[in-house]
Amino acid sequence: MFFSLNFFRAAFYESFLFTYFNTDRFATRGAQRCGGFALQSNFLSAIGFTAGASVTGKTVTLRRLAEAFSNQGVPVFLADVKGDLSGIVNAGADSGKVGERIAEFGLGAAWLQSFPVRFWDVFGEAGIPLRVTISEMGPMLLSRLMNLNDTQEGLLNLVFRVADDNGWHLIDLKDLRGLLKHVADHAAEYRSQYGNVSAASVGAVQRQLLTLENEGAANLFGEPALNLEDWMQTEGGKGVINILNAEKLMRSPRMYSAFLLWMLAELFQTLPEVGDPEQPKFVMFFDEAHLLFDNAPAALVAQIEQVVRLIRSKGVGVYFVTQNPLDLPDSILGQLGNRVQHALRAFTPRDQKAVKAAAETFRTNPNINVVEAIAELGVGEALVSFLDEKGMPAPVERAFVLPPQSSLTPLAAAERDSTFQNDILYRHYKDMIDNFSAYEALTELEAQQAQAAEAQNAAKAQAQADKAAAAAPQQNGMMGGFLGGLFGGRKKANQGVAYDLADSVGSQINQQVTRAISRSVMGVIKNILK
């Protein structure tokens, strides 16, 4: 017996999945098609996950979910880690496996259609350039991006605080590098106010910045920064599907995960509370979701958990796509209301554990042995459980995934380039703008300090010269006055104390000499008279 799951209003919108218990795919069982039940729209803004081993249909499910949301006017974000999602911009072809599924489910030729797509790329090679600022990323995500320890993260927090207190904007990597140098050069000044500034920590952070630059992070940080409102657009009544080309970005997993986590946090901080909307405002699919949590510190995981729990009230849906449910922390896995589980292969003890763990995450259905079903699911089949009208997980059902409506064939590079280069937003984000920021402010500050130091040194030199010039005439005046007084030189006006002193000394000497001469003369006269 088949049941159809419909997005939002079952009587109006197309089916996403067909659930079944007995089908003609199993020769021993008969098949019968019947009515359906609705997938509650107001709970699609909750978080969910799609999991499964390689080549089990996760990417097709991801594509099909995005198409269904787009058809309802909901903008979507996808990370294209393999480069095979660009074909969503074109209608699919009624041939091959897709044609077989269309005929099998009686969907008709009208099923195939195209969707509005906007291509993005951090490196600006396969999509519109995508940038954020250092300040927007924040010290916690930057610490994760650079793999810093607690001490180094503390230094980074100190640097951000100095920037905030001085009104210096951190936009790109040269701003952060310049501020690190400034803090190191003025460590004694900042140590008393903000705490210890370790030269070793400064050096370690600077080396990590160099590593980031080598990985292409200079393209990620800058202006104009991404305005998330540009991702929440509709065209022709359909939500725009924003595809991030992550083929090259995936070579730096830390940069990939940091960007996705920034986007999640930014949406949470900027979007207003909307309560319990009829349908989501925006839906994100995080492919390779395990990268978000690999080696993540406990504080970051706790922050992600908080955002995931509360972001539904912002009208945002978040879906994690990964191979194994065990890739997600238990605290996050417990929040996932909407689940699509493709086949898992239980070849190793860890795989067997993963199968059991995945089975335990579903609400039980007496008609389905979940552990066995997970192992025997074929390509394009899945176990599904969505929230019901009361917000409770529905019992697990086995399901066929409907074929995608868009083309499975990726665009040629030239066609993709033409598409994004003719996009109206490309002109706005095309060129990086080097606005006045911390680097320029610090350059001006250093120039002002250098000028002030030069002026101070010049003033000191002038003062010393003036002092020397003033001292030279004074010394000459004292000697001239002293000798003039001694030898009866004529006193001139304003010759000062030195002349008076010498004149007094000279007068006394003259008097003594005169008295001595007088005594001698009088003695000679007395002798003559005798």
* Per-residue pLDDT reduced to its tens digit, 463-510: 888 888 887 766 555 555 544 555 555 444 445 554 454 455 555 555
Question: Do 126 and 140 fall into the same domain?
Answer: no
- Write phi, then psi, for 270 (nearest 5 degrees): -95, -30
148 versus 509: which is more confidently predicted? 148
97: in domain = yes
434: in domain = no
Question: Do 123 and 139 fall into the same domain?
Answer: no
Please say if the pLDDT value at position 11 is more than 70. no
34: in domain = no
pLDDT score of 31: 29
Contact in structure between 372 and 404 (CB atoms under 8 Å): no
Joined tokens for residue 445: 């500050």
Reported as a single tens digit per residue, the pLDDT across 153-176 is: 999 999 999 999 999 999 999 999
What lies within 8 Å, CB to CB, of 235 at 6+ separation is 116
How, if at all, do strands 316-322 and 282-287 pair?
Answer: parallel
Question: Do 241 and 292 fall into the same domain?
Answer: yes
| Least confident span in 267-271, 305-309, 502-506 | 502-506
Please say if the pLDDT value at position 4 is more than 80. no
Closest by alpha carbon to 64, among 98, 25, 24? 98
- Give me the torsion for CA of 276, 281, 285, 291, rounded to 10°: -70
45: in domain = yes
H/E segment holding residue 190: helix 187-194
Please say if the pLDDT value at position 529 is more than 70. no
Reported as a single tens digit per residue, the pLDDT across 40-98 is: 444 455 678 888 888 888 888 889 989 999 998 999 999 998 888 999 999 999 988 88
Reported as a single tens digit per residue, the pLDDT across 168-227 is: 999 999 999 999 999 999 898 888 888 888 889 999 999 999 988 888 889 999 999 999
Contact in structure between 44 and 338 (CB atoms under 8 Å): yes
Domain encompassing residue 365: 40-131+223-429
pLDDT score of 457: 87
Question: Do 161 and 122 fall into the same domain?
Answer: no
Joined tokens for residue 386: 């969505």
157: in domain = yes
343: in domain = yes
12: in domain = no
| Least confident span in 334-343, 383-392, 451-460, 515-524 | 515-524
Per-residue confidence band for 517, with pLDDT thresholds at 50, 70 and 90: low
Question: Do 60 and 157 fall into the same domain?
Answer: no
Question: Do 197 and 95 fall into the same domain?
Answer: no
- Exposure class string for 77-105: b at 16+ Cβ within 10 A, else e: bbbbbebebbbbbbebebeeebeebbeeb
Closest by alpha carbon to 203, among 176, 171, 181? 181
- HEC profile for 365-413? CCCCCHHHHHHHCCCCEEEEECECCCCCECCCEEEEECCCCECCCCCCH
Instruction: Look up the pTM and report it.
Output: 0.80
| Least confident span in 92-96, 367-371, 453-457, 484-488 | 484-488
Please say if the pLDDT value at position 283 is more than 90. yes
- The domain that contains 238 carries what CATH number? 3.40.50.300
Mean predicted lDDT score pLDDT of the chain: 81
User: For the chain, what is the domain count?
Assistant: 3
167: in domain = yes
Identity of the residue numbered 120: W
Question: Do 273 and 343 fall into the same domain?
Answer: yes
Check residue 315 and report its DSSP letter: T
Between helix 199-214 and helix 134-146 the angle, nearest 10°, is 100
The whole-angstrom separation of Cα 138 and Cα 269 is 13
